[in-house]
Structure 1
């Protein structure tokens, strides 16, 4: 097995996992006080309902053990809290946009996002996002926050990445899912078409991921751990074509552009990934009929060849492990078939 490693560090940077983590050591002179009331005074912009949901989901622990809402904090208690991030300070317009809902119950729903849909409203993308659609769809739920903020999301995927996302429908479920993301117990599998043919069938890429000093839109791997956040990607080669390979990637951490940055770092950028250099012919002679073939493949899939294929986690209320799969979208399948036909010639 190939192995690319560096040392762990806790720098601050972007992440696709939308949670925050707190650690509080109770003062020596603290009087006995219910834990929800104690935390209300110390965590800004957190509602009591959200805190109680976090306590019930065991996302709040005292001295490394879960407690009940009625627990009274004592001097020198060490409290750790994992919460879904507070909503962004942005008005979100509810929009009746069709959603591909794979599964839904009282606590959560699974959405299969199409490529091209932005997850969060931001500059130049205030409308037509997944959050706009969810704000409309979940408009009668408390987590919709009356049309403001980020309804129920505890993770995200890139605009041009397709595939599965889990959305919570209650404060309790948001806290429960956020804890699993923090503990790295969520199972996430991606399929990627990459340039080149990895020598090893399987491998692990470990390297800090942080923003490039040359272009803030691009994430760079810092192998010495000097910047960024610790990131781990496990990969497995599913099929080797002549000049590209279909690879399965499993995320241990969830950093922005993690797979895209990590695969480029080991010399295998994602096919058709303009931001990371994958929209040029990186294998084979860039001329003649082969050049025409690759350019036509780029036209079939004018975005990075990355799909969030599966998602597995423990359900907030049943406490059973559930798993979901998403079929490859048409553009991804079409490019794979094109490479298969080319190889067969």
Structure 2
């Protein structure tokens, strides 16, 4: 297995700087900055997909439109590792990896309190309200409800917070945020599912640490690694601990 570590940084076509974790003719792996939408939304704010298309167009002097396939998503306030497809064939094969559960996603998060066990599996039925863009845990069998599964491990506790590693087994909207809030451990900084314990302006502490998948062409295992910034509350735990936990 190849681990692709942070280090190389490229300028995009805008003033922003997007860190590139991996790139070949088929794939582009990057660190998504926090508070930027993955794709164009109702706000009209600059989005990551458009930035990357422009960047590839400029760097490779490509005429016309650049293809960039969106295979998975991160919520706007969440940062970390993401992979995009540079060809439609790669996009199709990566999407198939997602469907067949050979697309691996590992997150780090800081939550208030401590889960009841040091590690465990959460299985819930989630229902999304598109109007309010909120998700709630509902009873199994509720019309429109979708099963959500994640595994968590507590990596450490400090100052009333816990650092968790999350293995995401399904990819439901707001899944990690809702499921952890439902067991009394809302994410640090999450205004939507933890307003009672978080202050406005705090940055949500949820980070896409690892994205792993078989390469769509070579079939070799690719693993992209990104660690959260060493700012509070992440800095309560040493970065080597975080890295060791997710690899």
TM range (shorter): 0.7 to 0.9
1:166 aligns with 2:83: yes
Greater percentage in strand = 2
Whole-Å separation in 2 of the counterparts to 1:242 and 1:98: 33
Whole-Å separation in 2 of the counterparts to 1:240 and 1:225: 36
Whole-Å separation in 1 of the counterparts to 2:37 and 2:141: 30
Work out which structure has the larger RCO, using CA pairs closer than 8 Å and 6 or more positions apart in sequence.
2
Deviations 1:146-200 (A, max 9, x none): 26xx821111101110101110011110011000101111111100101111221
Number of equivalences: 222
- Partner residue of 1:191? 108
Gap regions ≥5 residues in structure 2? 1-11, 239-247
Aligned with residue 146 of structure 2, among 226, 229, 250: 229
- Partner residue of 2:65? 146
Over the residues paired in the alignment, what is the CA RMSD in angstroms?
2.6
Q: Secondary structure at the match of 2:147?
A: coil
- Partner residue of 1:321? 221
Whole-Å separation in 2 of the counterparts to 1:136 and 1:339: 37
- Residue 219 (structure 1) shift: 1.0
Whether the 8 Å contact between 1:235 and 1:249 is mirrored in structure 2 is yes
Gap regions ≥5 residues in structure 1? 1-93, 282-294, 341-345
Give the TM-score normalised by the residue count of structure 1.
0.59
Aligned with residue 132 of structure 1, among 43, 47, 50: 50
Q: Secondary structure at the match of 1:109?
A: strand
Give the TM-score normalised by the residue count of structure 2.
0.81
Greater percentage in helix = 1
Whether the 8 Å contact between 1:195 and 1:278 is mirrored in structure 2 is no
Whether the 8 Å contact between 2:126 and 2:135 is mirrored in structure 1 is yes
- Residue 277 (structure 1) shift: 1.7
Deviations 1:80-117 (A, max 9, x none): xxxxxxxxxxxxxx963432111101110101011111
- Residue 242 (structure 1) shift: 4.3
